[in-house]
Amino acid sequence: MQLGLIGLGKMGGNMRERIRNAGHEVIGYDRNPKVSDVKSMKALVDALEAPRVVWVMVPSGDPTRQTVAQLGDLLEPGDLVIDGGNSRFTDDFDNAEMLKKKGIAYLDCGVSGGIWGLENGYGLMVGGQAGQVKRAMPIFDALRPEGPREEGFVHAGKVGAGHYAKMVHNGIEYGLMAAYAEGYELLEAKDIVTNVPGAFKAWTRGTVVRSWLLDLLVKALEEDEHLEDVSGFTVDSGEGRWTVEEAIANSVPMPVISASLFARFASRQEESPTMKAVAALRGQFGGHDVMTVKEGQKLRAEAEELRHPKAVKKVAKKAAKKTTARKATAKGKAAASAGPSSGTGSAGSTTRGRTSTSTAGPTSGTGSARKATTKKAAATKTAKKATAKKAAARRA
């Protein structure tokens, strides 16, 4: 079978090779002349025999929409366009409608397999008319993994269903990766666990959590045991967001996938406005110390140098001791200048340069033990007086 393929990047280039290896003719076009078989999209269309089948494998959004629109002007009635990128399923409705007016058929195909697809094959999820799916089946069979067709290919439903299924697939992928990653961090944090990569590798056979993603994490840890050269800054390509949006639109509870998406947002913040507000509130209602941005950065830097999550606690404890020592010194100076006083409670606490005196009202966790004892003694004395009065009244 003959196929035109537009987009020869990381996936498109490997797909061209896999289809060719299956015995089909592929004419590829890419803006990069070093990898392109022809000089233009028009040249690609001219090189194909009618009725043509053209697969689009370019970034989602405007690049795909513009490419499909151009094909609509170049192709003829009876031709077929397949969008194999990560387009939002709603774009498929517009693409199919636009091409239908020109007598051109349309399929959407979600493709999973990444850079490993050339060797392992690609999972395919297709949406569109059954007749057009059958027409393109030789190409789908060339791309999917070896074995039963239904274990690597699905005609998911109407136009848009293929990309919708791929969207949910990627949302699940977000949640799975986050779960493995959380487990990794906990194992790294526990001092009794000395072989974290080995633990993950032991899970790759015979356990309920084995998967290809787990295999890839093992590979990553074998290359960099503590992921020292890996930044936590994590982007998202869109499908996770769309999955959560669809969950809201369809009233489907989705706490795991939502949390994994939000974790990616958090990974891009050097300082979290949310946690700044929490720290500020703790200072307001409880008189707790509020670190400056510089102090927080120093704390993180010291923990990073030690390269172990538990170091955060150790460094924080060390910083707390320093803060306590500074407070004690300040209290001593204040007491010396104010003269003798009863009790050991502090007359005020300092928060980021502001002094909050005891007249500001009670706070949680700041009362001294001696004050509590004095209050209890006073209450006992009052109770004894009341009892004595009652007894005197009865005698009278």
| Segment 369-395, tens digit of pLDDT | 444 444 445 555 555 555 555 444 444
How many structural domains does the chain have? 2
| 346 — pLDDT class (breaks 50, 70, 90) | very low
**Where in the sequence is the domain holding 147, given as residue range(s)?**
2-158
pLDDT of 380 reads 53
202 with 256, same domain: the answer is yes
Beta bridge partners of 125: 110, 154
Higher pLDDT, 161 or 293: 161
Q: Tally Cβ neighbours within 10 Å of residue 50.
A: 10
CA–CA separation, 164 and 338 (whole Å)? 73
User: What's residue 366's pLDDT?
Assistant: 41
- SS3 of 171, please? helix
- Say what the pLDDT of residue 320 is: 62
Q: If pLDDT is split at 50, 70 and 90, which confidence band does 337 have?
A: low
Q: What stretches of the chain show up as alpha helix (H) in DSSP? A: 10-21, 41-47, 62-74, 89-100, 117-120, 130-135, 137-143, 161-189, 196-202, 212-223, 239-249, 255-267, 273-286, 293-306, 310-338, 369-395
pTM: 0.75
Q: Average pLDDT, whole number, for the chain?
A: 85
Q: What Cα–Cα distance (Å) separates residue 117 from each residue in 16, 53, 121, 348, 378?
A: 11, 21, 4, 65, 79
Q: For residue 128, what pLDDT is reported?
A: 98
Cα separation, 151 vs 147, in Å, equals: 7
Give per-residue pLDDT as tens, 195-247. 999 999 999 999 999 999 999 999 999 999 999 999 999 999 899 999 999 99
Q: What pLDDT, in 10s, does the model give residues 179-189?
A: 999 999 999 99
Catalytic residue among 17, 158, 173, 298: 173
Q: Residue 166 catalytic?
A: yes
Angle subtended at Cα 169 by Cα 126 and Cα 3, rounded to the nearest 5 degrees? 30
- Domain boundary among the residues 218, 238, 267 is at 267
pLDDT (0 to 100) of residue 57? 97
Give the CATH number of the domain where residue 136 resides. Answer: 3.40.50.720
Comparing 102-106, 120-124, 225-229, the range with the smallest average pLDDT is: 225-229
Task: Answer yes or no: do 55 and 149 share one domain.
Answer: yes
294 catalytic? Reply is: no
Asked, for residue 141, whether it belongs to a domain, the answer is: yes
